[in-house]
Structure 1
């Protein structure tokens, strides 16, 4: 389900731009051997790591699809934050209380956030993916679309294999994420925690290892202990919509002066925050604190991150959001037409895929401002017609 983390971009600094890809798959695997050997593995370990490796066509199809992320926030969040997930989340919060106590004490990461990702990524470990992780990584590194992102993951997986923490027969997500909270090999290598004290980091079968590793990773990405991440708000009709969105941060005092108020309780004091409108000014409204942005290092999808953050607040007692009456999401073809129109006007919307991602939202808001429309970053047929 996950999009690849922006943290992957850092790998570009350490991976040769000319890294081999494409061509005969067997030759590609053979060429990998000296590179893996240079990581300190013995020849026998290299052969063991690559034994039986195969190209997985399913991985390539999954990499090019991801249609799940074309749903709007209300549909997406209602599908993912089901009553069953609410009940299972509450049960696991109670069952693993000691582990969550430790995660909060040692890494400062909220139990609500950890439980939300645990639930959304794998239904609390029940389904961790059905792609062979080693084969998925080698397949994606061989594919010439993004080899610089996946080749380092192969090397990290090989290093984990050498120390007994990677099973070449193990399965996970199509992009190589492993275990109950779906972490990539490099993230496991850097942030893996032996939470149950058995001498190994096993994110597949050990909730303690998985949850504490996830907490340590979020801390390393900049999670700020004791601070909120998302809160539902009520916004006035006369708000300057151009100030909404993650690109604008104001103090909570400034937002209060502009008429933004918490639906329950009060806004956190002394923090910068953004007002986010997942479906425009007529839909749900939230205030996003600095910790919210950290979650994009886990997943790039705006709808997914907002849903996970919202689910975390629900697990800790927040009510269901007020859906409002937003304009419907554009059809797939209309969204693609909009992206092409935005690109023609010089906006970088990334791939024309019909997905309302962060770059498309930013471009929509800029064009709404230019055209004198309410600049709430929600695309409408009116905007499409004007473009």
Structure 2
């Protein structure tokens, strides 16, 4: 109990500091809200939407969540091992069967296969079971007022007011802490622009109507760049002497080239025909390996976290019938504290790591690859104690 009180005291101090910072950066909340109201009114929002805005509250808990997304300090095996579980695989298969008609329509209209939509649906809300209990209005008002990403969230706040004005959503709608709504966790601007009436009842309900959810997800994924009929990811086996500097998501090469270097299918067979692909090594050259195609980039458009996108893509492959990936024997990684120490060294060497946060993001991986190349290490983007010591 004593430790709990100490923790709560620390949290109170942190939240107070966040609140003071946001008020200073975003200015007076009431004055800021008046500016949003004027913009919304000019954009066609009437009394219902403006009345909802008048009741919006600044919530320091939202900023605490925004600053502390520690889940992304996990490595791929930790995150995927937790998220790709028996419940999601079992219920995903059952839902693809139950709503086969809606999935078929989504594939016909947008070219997106059922396993791809289902994987996002599973990871976002466990098929609608966990949609979030934060006030969407307060979340978006807080994030739009905050100085970190106001240009991103202000349009979504006004879109929410439009949805309230139209009667699509109630003013007290709840969702995720970052303002996403419904079973696939869409921000209001996307809800407004991409929502599809999948069940033909004359309205788009992404909280309760599964056909609406499936068709809307298909449309959004298509708009993000999905290429119908093409693969997104394939697990492979790699040799010990691959030219590692040629690996990486963006370095797409013909499958014939990967085959010439000794890359095979997961079970050791020859690679088939297909578009160019990059080779991703989420835990280094001794860990799991995946060929990723242009469709994989759509996952990064959905969520920019490397571990989330690779997990979503793998879950989709599992739902399509693939077995679990082979972990291999990766070298030990770094703790979040060690990752921050590594990022500090990389910054000192002139690299842009996207912030010293202990997260192995895209920028940090690229900086690691450059230093591995300079030091003569296998260029796989995986941070190890050996690399940290060498720097």
Contact 1:21 1:147 in 2 (8 A): no
Moved over 6 A (4+): none
Corresponding residue for residue 33 of structure 1: 37
Measured in 2, the distance between the counterparts of 1:77 and 1:365 equals: 23
Corresponding residue for residue 6 of structure 1: none
Instruction: Give ranges in structure 2 of 5+ residues lacking alignment.
Output: 1-23
In the superposition, the TM-score normalised over structure 2's length comes to 0.91
Work out which of the residue numbers 162, 184, 188 in structure 2 matches 1:185: 188
Corresponding residue for residue 7 of structure 1: none
Q: Secondary structure at the match of 1:183?
A: coil
Displacement after TM superposition at 1:49 (Å): 2.9
Corresponding residue for residue 227 of structure 2: 224
Contact 1:164 1:200 in 2 (8 A): no
Work out which of the residue numbers 363, 374, 377 in structure 1 matches 2:378: 374
Work out which of the residue numbers 251, 271, 275 in structure 2 matches 1:271: 275
Contact 1:230 1:289 in 2 (8 A): yes
Displacement after TM superposition at 1:266 (Å): 5.5
Does 1 or 2 have the higher relative contact order (CA < 8 Å, sep 6+)?
1
Contact 1:33 1:46 in 2 (8 A): no
Measured in 2, the distance between the counterparts of 1:23 and 1:105 equals: 49
Q: Secondary structure at the match of 1:247?
A: strand
Q: Secondary structure at the match of 2:250?
A: coil
Is 1:343 the equivalent of 2:352?
Answer: no
Contact 2:49 2:164 in 1 (8 A): no
Corresponding residue for residue 16 of structure 2: none
Q: Counterparts in 2 of 1:146-161, with a 5 A limit?
A: 146-161=149-164
Is 1:101 the equivalent of 2:99?
Answer: no
Measured in 2, the distance between the counterparts of 1:270 and 1:126 equals: 37
- Indicate the larger mover: 22-31 or 375-384: 22-31
In the superposition, the TM-score normalised over structure 1's length comes to 0.92
Measured in 2, the distance between the counterparts of 1:91 and 1:80 equals: 18
Shift of the 267–163 alpha-carbon distance from structure 1 to 2, 3 Å rule, reads: farther
Deviations 1:87-134 (A, max 9, x none): 111111111111111111110001111110100100000001111111
Is 1:196 the equivalent of 2:199?
Answer: yes
Q: Counterparts in 2 of 1:1-387, with a 5 A limit?
A: 22-42=26-46, 44-264=47-267, 267-387=271-391
Shift of the 89–46 alpha-carbon distance from structure 1 to 2, 3 Å rule, reads: closer
Displacement after TM superposition at 1:294 (Å): 1.0
Instruction: Give ranges in structure 1 of 5+ residues lacking alignment.
Output: 1-19
Corresponding residue for residue 15 of structure 1: none
